[in-house]
Structure 1
């Protein structure tokens, strides 16, 4: 699938969804990056968490995480 095809499909799938607002509360501010590379076809970038982190050791994830104070 090309990046253009992925963008078109994503817009189609999201068009029918309603926006949802997360209520405020004791939440942790965090963010992730959805990096899409165009190498003739769409490719996603993932990160593998180390074995030394406190949570989710060794798991594959999107790059990102908690916002530093």
Structure 2
């Protein structure tokens, strides 16, 4: 199960940091925002099958299984 971006077509990669309550930031690390349509296109290349997608309380999720 993965949480996907609410925009189904979203496919964006970038560097991200995480900041704690005291304002200390992590080193940058790669991150991606991927919507359900984009993840459906990528699943096969990763050896996965997309079997289900749903939305709840403004959040989007997909379930993938090994192909």
TM over 0.5: no
* Structure in which a larger fraction of residues adopt strand: 2
TM-score bucket of the superposed structures, by smaller chain: under 0.3
Larger relative contact order (Cα-Cα within 8 Å, sequence gap ≥ 6): 2
Q: If the length of structure 1 is used for normalisation, what is the TM-score?
A: 0.25
State TM-score, norm by structure 2. 0.25
The structure with more radius of gyration:
1
